[in-house]
Amino acid sequence: MEVRRRRNFPITSVIVFSLLNQVVNAGINKYPCDFPAIFNFGDSNSDTGGLSAAFGQAGPPHGESFFHGPAGRYCDGRLVIDFIAESFGLPYISAFLDALGSNFTHGANFATAGSTIRPQNTTLAQSGFSPFSLNVQWYQFNDFHRRVRTFLTQKDDRVFKKLMPKLKDFSRSLYTFDIGQNDLTAGLFLNLTVDEVRASVPDIVDQFKTVIKDIYDQGGRSFWIHNTGPFGCLPYVLDRQLVSAGPTDEFGCVGSFNDLAQFFNHRLKLTVDQLREDLPKASITYVDIYSVKYELITRATRHGFEHPLMCCCGHGGKYNFNLHLGCGGKVKIKGKDVLVGKACEDPTVRINWDGVHYTQAANKWMFDQIVNGSFSDPPIPIRFACYKQY
């Protein structure tokens, strides 16, 4: 007995030591983050039901490719945020504004279609932009957090406790952002020049910074931030023939608008660098979704898609897009409501869904590009986005 124990001791300790070593290294780059929830902020690129809850449903044929009916998304199916949730084995995130059928155990989505970073001075009816700007989304998050705190400290066991995240989850969750495009188009649609809109970018990214800091102050640590896409290639911008639009490039996109998007992205990136200095415990990933979208649109055929500038669900014109008769719109023909914005035959080979938003197929393609970190700064896969590692 004595002898055996002595002989075994060094061997065991070697095993224990090497195991320990593995665990220590793993802390940095081996174990994926265990995000219990996702809190999302943004516009229609990631709206899973917010605007529909507040201002009326995005009707058929939205949702037809996956949900077999309207699902609060401006898309024929899933959005990038849905694929992100799936990748963590989490359910799709409920819209904060959805009063019925929501379950916030694994997060909440504050995004609404038409949201801007800066508060708008016009109503949705006047301009088409959502009143749920990023600061309002933050008020909602703040109240959500406060109410979770209140209810979880009460002793009774009411049903909504089964619909809320745990209090400790707030610091372990992934906070995702995709917002900014509407701040730029809002100015352009008012006939501001590209230079005038450019001049507002520092203020826009400043207000973005404030919200990230506020979430950090409430315990948020892991941030996943998408930059803004090449909106100069989208039918709803191209079709307007804005006075501020310059010539189109070889791909049919308005180059000056895409340059504006890139200027915003450049400032956003500088803001992220600043935030990393200001918020020492945060891990912040900046995701270049612009390059992914631009690659897809400008080399559509190579990636198995066609008609990159034409929308799938729309009506008429060069881009199959009509501002006044959008996807799901109806007209009366001989006293009957007829659905005008019929979807194209095969949305799986199309990039643009309704003139503004991407198809599920495009969203899936984009997700596949960004999930492994190829377009991220720092270049680490999303499942490691909780590690501060620059």
Ligand X SMILES: *[C@@H]1O[C@H](CO)[C@@H](O)[C@H](O)[C@H]1NC(C)=O
Give the binding site for ligand X (CB under 6 A): 103, 105, 118, 120-121, 159, 162-163, 190-191, 243, 368-369, 372, 374
Q: State the minimum distance, in angstroms, from the CB of residue 4 to ligand X.
A: 48
Minimum CB separation of residue 326 from ligand X in Å reads: 19
Least distance CB 61 / ligand X (angstroms): 29
Is 127 a catalytic site residue?
no
Pick between residue 137 and residue 328 the one whose CB is nearest to ligand X.
137
Nearer to ligand X, 127 or 218 (CB): 127
For ligand X, the closer of residues 207 and 218 by Cβ is 207
* Nearest residue to 132 via CA among 26, 6, 41, 23: 41
Question: Which residue among 76, 169, 178, 354 is the active-site one?
Answer: 354
The answer to whether residues 112 and 51 touch, using CB atoms and an 8 Å cutoff, is yes
- Nearest distance, CB of residue 199 and ligand X, angstroms: 11
CB of 203 to ligand X, least distance (A): 7
Tell me if residue 183 is catalytic.
no
- DSSP string for residues in 309-322: EEESS--STTTT--
Q: What are phi and psi of 153, to 5 degrees?
A: -90, -5
Return the sign of the alpha-carbon dihedral for residues 97, 103, 105, 107. Answer: negative
DSSP 87-139: HTTPPPPPBTT--SS---TTEEE---TT--SSPPSS-HHHHS--S--HHHHHH
The residue (of 52 and 182) whose beta carbon lies closer to ligand X is 182
Task: Read off the tokens for 323.
Answer: 């501002």
> Is 44 among the residues known to form the active site?
yes
Q: Which one, 300 or 344, has the nearer CB to ligand X?
A: 300
State which residue, 190 or 331, has the beta carbon closest to ligand X: 190
* Spatial CB neighbours of 106, under 8 Å, sequence gap ≥ 6: 36, 37, 38, 85, 90, 91, 93, 165
* DSSP state for residue 226 in the 8-state scheme: E
Task: Find the shortest distance in angstroms from Cβ 221 to ligand X.
Answer: 22
State the Cα–Cα distance between residues 75 and 63, nearest whole angstrom.
6
Of these residues, 43, 44, 98, 239, which one is catalytic? 44
Q: CB–CB of 351/297 below 8 Å?
A: yes
Catalytic option among 82, 106, 357, 376: 357
**Could you count the other beta carbons within 10 Å of the beta carbon of residue 107?**
27
Residue 343 DSSP class: P
Residues marked active site are found at 44, 354, 357
